[in-house]
Amino acid sequence: MAFAALALVVSTPATPASARTVDFRPGAAGIGDPAYPLDGNGGYDVLHYHLDVRYQPATDWLDGKATITATATQHLSRFNLDFIGLTVEEVTVNGQPARVRRDGDELVVTPARGLLKGLPFVVVARYHGIPETFRVPEIPLESRFIHTDDGALVAGEPESAATWYPVNDHPQDKATYSVNVTVPDGLTALSNGIPLGSTSSAGWTTWRWAATSPMASYLSTLAIGRWRIDQHRHDGRPTVIAVDETLPPTLADDAVERTDEITDFLESLFGPYPFEANGAIVDNHDPLLFALETQTRPVYPASFFDDGPNPLDDNLVAHELAHQWFGDSVSVRYWKDLWLNEGFAAYAEWLWSEHNGFMSVREWFNMLYDTELGGGLWTPPPYDPTGGTDPFRISVYSRGPMTLHALRLTVGDDAFWTIMRRWVVEHRYGNAETEDFVALAERVSGRQLDGLFAAWLTGSVKPPNPDPLPPGARKAAIPQPRNLHR
């Protein structure tokens, strides 16, 4: 309905003479991130994705229909969507068939008529096929659309969405989502946000989800399988904690069942939890070797959890939940700024660990400071303002939190917590860069902090230790990492 009227507006300009002078141009094939030149696209901004997908695990087959509502940010003769593998049947724009061409992992869509800057338009794409799993050569690691023994799981960073729907695949273009997933009766399909229930007919069950806060596409997930589900409300928010039914009930459950408690603790530090829902998804699939901060419902691999109490299990949950503030609500503008996600989530881990009676923040800091591993910690540094190189380096997880700790020691607790809370308020649901953080820290503290950030964030030389352990203190043993990526 709405788009029929829209099509009229677009195809019948008030003054035909001026319409002829409109300079419609193709949207760019990438959004302009030097580290990933083809991620995202130019010329439009997506408001909402409505996805209807049907998945049959027996054949790995997916049928999909994506309804994408966007606004043109330039006069568009054509535009791209990121899309990997699947076969496109048909694309319409404002109800009229569009021409579609494949160019690698890009769909090039030419609508019947140009799209005027500032006006909304609706794209409907129908597609099908077997979604592609991303495999890292030589390592048994899978990501993006993962085919599991009881269903499927989508998780991957910096991209994963384009393996199951056409998308403007970069954190700069956040949108809300409604997702309907149809699976054979007996299986449960999970996604982000609020659970809207399910209906069954003719052997299939459709599960409905709504992500009502702006979400970066790599944070959207789909998890199909058989789960042990704890669904409840916490602080009024629907919370869905799903653990693979094949896991013994003491393995991951002990840690993910602390989701509410850890969220409350993080709220006491960083201010209100930013989203409409919360939860966890734990899948038992050996090649899943990472956790991911999928919005409102982090994905965890079974292999990261020990049987019995292990503080590192809770730390992983604290890490992914902290990402809801740092990474999900406040997202990077360019992937070069990844330490704004990982450094902050890692520092939140230290804070939780201290609160939880495990290692203190100071012990974590010193453990990393003293480590002889050295490699990758001091060079390359966590932040390279020129971008371009692989942003996923180990130092974002180590010197990232060390930078925050050094900042806290320099400006004092009051200023530090004001900086952290203002950061999440000022950039809520948006994108930010390192320069914004440095400017905020200088504004709040009233100090010149170039030297501090040069030493901890961009430099390659180990600075003097600002927080040594008292003489004679027992040194913390390095906890055995079970994972490289978290």
Q: Which of Zn ion, ligand TRP, none does residue 476 bind (CB under 5 to 8 Å by kind)? A: none
Minimum distance from residue 339 beta carbon to ligand TRP (Å):
12
Q: Are the C-beta atoms of 214 and 196 separated by less than 8 Å?
A: no
Q: Which stretch binds ligand TRP (CB under 6 A): 163-171, 197-205, 256-264, 285-293?
A: 285-293
Strands 227-234 and 61-72: unpaired
Residue 292 touches ligand TRP, criterion: CB under 6 A: yes
CB 235 to ligand TRP: min, Å: 23
Site mask, ligand TRP, residues 426-465, x = CB under 6 A?
----------------------------------------
> Taking contact as CB under 6 A, which single stretch among the options 87-95, 99-107, 123-131, 155-163 is the one that binds ligand TRP?
155-163
- Dihedral of the alpha carbons of 364, 367, 370, 375, in degrees to the nearest 10: -90
Interface contacts to Zn ion, rule CB under 5 A: 342, 345
* Cα→Cα distances 237→71, 278, 387, 394, 413, Å: 30, 7, 38, 34, 30
Count of residues that bind ligand TRP according to CB under 6 A? 14
CA dihedral sign, ordered 220, 127, 210, 331: positive
Q: Residue 139: helix, strand or coil by DSSP?
A: coil
Q: How far is CA 134 from the centre of its chain?
A: 17
Buried b (16+ CB within 10 A) or exposed e, 303-320: bbbbeeebbbbbbbbbbb
Nearer to ligand TRP, 50 or 323 (CB): 323
Residues in region 310-329 near ligand TRP by CB under 6 A: 320
Which residue from 24, 204, 378, 392 is in contact with ligand TRP, where contact means CB under 6 A?
Answer: 392
Contacts of 365 (CB under 8 A, 6+ apart): 350, 401, 402, 405, 467
For residue 428, give the amino acid letter.
Answer: R
Of 44 and 300, CB closest to ligand TRP: 300
If the CB atoms of residues 65 and 297 are measured against Zn ion, the closer one turns out to be 297
Task: Rule CB under 6 A: choose which of 33, 105, 169, 293 binds ligand TRP.
Answer: 293
> Could you give the angle at the alpha carbon of 259 between the alpha carbons of 428 and 154, nearest 5°?
70
Q: Minimum distance between the CB of residue 33 and Zn ion, rounded to whole angstroms?
A: 19
Is residue 291 at the binding interface for ligand TRP, with CB under 6 A as the rule?
yes
Q: Name the minimum Å distance from CB 55 to ligand TRP.
A: 21
* Binding-site partner at residue 292 among Zn ion, ligand TRP, none, CB < 5 to 8 Å by type: ligand TRP
Residues 337-356 that bind ligand TRP (CB under 6 A): 342, 345
Secondary-structure breakdown of the chain: helix, strand, coil percentages, each rounded to the nearest 5: 30, 30, 40
Under the phi-then-psi rule, with left for phi > 0, alpha for psi from -120 to 50, and beta for the rest, what region is 94? left
Minimum separation from the CB atom of position 290 to ligand TRP (A): 4
What is residue 267's three-state secondary structure?
Answer: helix
Q: Are 457 and 381 in contact (CB under 8 A)?
A: yes
From the list ligand TRP, Zn ion, none, which binds 225 (C-beta under 5 to 8 Å, kind-based)?
A: none
Binding site for ligand TRP (CB under 6 A): 143, 155-157, 290-293, 320, 342, 345, 392, 485-486
